[in-house]
């Protein structure tokens, strides 16, 4: 069975050396997260995820969530107890608002813990993960009364939350929503309709489930401008917080999925369920986007977290499995064959994944710090810059990190050879589970459109201009300190030059025919992802060089992986630029019927 060891050393490197959280003690909550506190927390959390949560991963895959005849849903053996521990350990409430019982610690730290949960058990991690998304939407958009009513129990984890967007006829295009809301005259609404693919829509781990539901109030405008957001609790909640009668919402079925079997993916039927409007009528999309944007960062994390755990197991297998001799001479003369980790092509798969995962982790934590800054920085300009960066990088993190994370999990399976294809080794599950991350919270194609269609154009291009200028500035500031770093800076600037050229190409060609932007979008996003990871690798190289003298082999290994990234990964940029520039004509010429 696969194992998981949280990469604590790498997390420490990022939080302490690269991002230097200790320098942000002026921000609320950061002073409570000093180095020793963080280290102790990572250590304890790592143990729990290794010993308790990871062993339940395969259980979840085999048993799956099961719907009972009465519509209730039973989670896999051990999930309920693990969830109780998860809440007691405070893993879910780390960065939540202290006003509602949260710990108010940095989001950046919460991301490290979330990564552990996702790597150890993606299907499990989605229960608190989705709940946190609902929490954020309520926190951002609901009334004080609603917040007081729902948030404390969602913070403690006694209640969980869901997001109800999709219907059979609409996924990406939420303007097509049909679920209707009928005002009752007492401030409440009756919600009726069917939602599908609702993760954690029904389960047995919490006392109540707070559904956030997008619906159309009778007489509302057509399309996206007539969508409102409602709170629909599974059990009605009294003013004293007590649970009342069951609301008219139920789970009509579970999907049979490729993976994440342990998570209940529900058909949710709303049958005149009582709902409470969140925010204003017809402004539901705004709150939903808050939730979705932060959820997208979490999905990106799922991508590299799956690659991390799969890679750990692939490396262990490659050290253990004896097969053939090294072509450069016998390496294990006392054994019947050499361990396969001596073969370069096995290394290639491990190193590709490693260079990706470490860069992806850096980018995700870097974004998380900007999430902290966007809320907590005292200076408005800093908050705005962080907001810009979050907006710009969210689609890149969601799509690039899941595309490459899926590849990393697949390559790790490949290291196992035939064993990788046999379910008992657990590698198939990593590949099957992570596959959904390329789809949900907006497919990766939608992320690419969001990047080229919205984020590049927003505020006259301010987001990307600021980000590109930051890279330039960093490179200028750090040039000339070390030969290796200089060489990497040169490669980073070359890739950034290609990204700039691609951005200019879009500027020149998208207006004439916006299909040019669509045709270029995924390659543009990948090019962006490569440059963003290159920036992270440059920053990591700088820190590793500064600490190399400490004798800690961690830094030497970091530099080896950095070299791999700049030798073999960043070179992928040019092909994406070439594809960006091919435009729409090639892509759209074939008749739809000719396929």
- Least distance CB 567 / its own copies (angstroms): 5
- Least distance CB 163 / its own copies (angstroms): 13
Instruction: List, as one string, the DSSP characters of 196-253.
Output: EEEETSS-SSSSEEEEEEEEEETTPPSGGGGEEEEEEESEEE-TTS-EEEEPSEEEEE
Q: Which two tokens stand for residue 518?
A: 């669509």
Cα dihedral angle (287, 293, 299, 300), rounded to 10 degrees? 180
Q: What span, in angstroms and rounded, lies between the C-alpha atoms of 179 and 211?
A: 14
Q: What span, in angstroms and rounded, lies between the C-alpha atoms of 358 and 210?
A: 36
- Least distance CB 242 / its own copies (angstroms): 37
Nearer to its own copies, 115 or 523 (CB): 523
Residue 229 parent element (H or E): strand 227-233
Q: What span, in angstroms and rounded, lies between the C-alpha atoms of 494 and 487?
A: 11
Q: Is 278 exposed, middle or buried (0-12, 13-18, 19+ CB in 10 A)?
A: buried
Q: What span, in angstroms and rounded, lies between the C-alpha atoms of 542 and 22?
A: 18
Nearer to its own copies, 25 or 582 (CB): 582
> Where would I find the H helices in 64-196?
79-88, 107-120, 122-141, 144-156
Distance of CA 380 to the CA centre of its chain: 27
Q: How far is CA 66 from CA 263, 342, 383, in A?
A: 10, 44, 44
- Look at residues 298, 299, 261, 264 and name the one whose alpha carbon lies nearest to residue 432: 261
Number of CB atoms found within 10 A of residue 319's CB: 11
Q: Is 95 helix (H, G, I), strand (E, B) or coil?
A: coil
Q: How far is CA 384 from CA 35, 379, 387, in A?
A: 27, 9, 5
SS3 per residue for 445-481:
HHHHHHHHHHHCCHHHHHHHHHHHHHHHHHHHHHCCC
Query: Does 222 qualify as catalytic in the annotation?
Result: no
- Look at residues 272, 265, 205, 202 and name the one whose alpha carbon lies nearest to residue 234: 202
- Least distance CB 322 / its own copies (angstroms): 8
* Residues near 100 by beta carbon (within 8 Å), at least 6 away in sequence: 139, 147, 148, 151, 152, 154, 155
- Residue in this structure with the two tokens 């029904």, named with its chain if needed: 202
Catalytic residue from among 167, 294, 358, 441: 441
Q: Which residues are catalytic?
A: 441
């Amino acid at each position: 069975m696969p194992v998981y060891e949280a990469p604590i050393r790498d997390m420490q490197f990022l939080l302490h050396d690269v991002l230097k959280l200790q320098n942000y003690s002026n921000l609320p909550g950061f002073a409570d997260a000093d180095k020793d506190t963080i280290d102790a927390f990572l250590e304890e959390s790592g143990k729990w995820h290794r010993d308790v949560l990871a062993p339940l991963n395969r259980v979840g895959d085999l048993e799956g969530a099961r719907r009972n005849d009465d519509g209730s849903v039973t989670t896999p053996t051990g999930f309920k107890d693990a969830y109780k521990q998860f809440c007691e350990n405070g893993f879910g409430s780390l960065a939540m608002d202290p006003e509602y019982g949260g710990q108010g610690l940095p989001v950046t730290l919460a991301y490290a813990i979330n990564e552990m949960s996702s790597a150890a058990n993606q299907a499990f991690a989605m229960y608190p993960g989705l709940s946190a998304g609902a929490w954020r939407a309520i926190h951002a958009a609901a009334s004080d009364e609603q917040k007081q009513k729902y948030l404390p129990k969602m913070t403690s984890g006694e209640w969980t939350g869901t997001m109800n967007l999709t219907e059979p006829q609409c996924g990406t295009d939420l303007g097509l929503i049909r679920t209707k809301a009928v005002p009752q005259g007492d401030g409440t609404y009756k919600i009726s309709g069917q939602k599908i693919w609702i993760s954690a829509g029904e389960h047995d781990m919490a006392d109540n489930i707070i559904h956030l539901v997008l619906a159309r109030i009778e007489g509302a405008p057509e399309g996206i401008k007539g969508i409102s957001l409602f709170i629909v609790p599974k059990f009605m909640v009294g003013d004293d917080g007590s649970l009342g009668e069951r609301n008219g919402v139920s789970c009509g079925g579970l999907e049979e999925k490729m993976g994440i079997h342990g998570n209940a993916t529900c058909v949710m039927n709303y049958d005149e369920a009582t709902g409470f409007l969140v925010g204003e009528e017809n402004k539901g999309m705004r709150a939903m986007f808050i939730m979705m944007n932060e959820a997208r960062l979490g999905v990106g994390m799922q991508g590299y977290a799956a690659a991390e755990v799969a890679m750990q197991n692939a490396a262990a297998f490659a050290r253990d499995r004896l097969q053939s001799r090294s072509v450069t001479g016998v390496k294990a003369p006392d054994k019947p064959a050499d361990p396969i980790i001596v073969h370069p092509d096995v290394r290639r798969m491990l190193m590709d994944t490693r260079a990706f995962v470490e860069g992806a982790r850096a980018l995700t934590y870097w974004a998380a710090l900007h999430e902290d800054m966007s809320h907590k920085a005292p200076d408005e300009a800093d908050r705005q810059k962080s907001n810009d960066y979050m907006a710009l990088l969210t689609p890149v993190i969601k799509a690039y990190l899941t595309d490459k994370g899926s590849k990393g999990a697949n390559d790790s399976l490949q290291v196992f050879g035939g064993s990788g294809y046999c379910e008992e080794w657990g590698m198939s599950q990593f590949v099957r589970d992570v596959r959904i991350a390329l789809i949900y919270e907006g497919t990766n194609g939608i992320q690419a459109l969001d990047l080229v269609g919205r984020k590049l154009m927003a505020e006259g291009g301010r987001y990307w201009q600021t980000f590109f200028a930051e890279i330039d500035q960093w490179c200028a500031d750090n040039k000339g300190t070390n030969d290796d770093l200089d060489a990497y800076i040169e490669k980073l600037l070359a890739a950034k030059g290609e990204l700039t050229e691609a951005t200019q190409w879009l500027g020149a060609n998208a207006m004439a025919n916006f299909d040019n932007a669509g045709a270029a979008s995924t390659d543009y996003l990948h090019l962006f992802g490569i440059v963003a990871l290159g920036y992270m690798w440059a920053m990591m190289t700088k820190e590793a060089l500064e600490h190399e003298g400490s004798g800690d082999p961690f830094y030497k290994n970091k530099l080896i992986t950095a070299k791999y990234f700049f030798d073999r990964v960043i070179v992928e940029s040019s092909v994406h630029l070439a594809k960006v520039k091919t435009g729409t004509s090639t892509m759209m010429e074939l008749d739809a019927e000719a396929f």
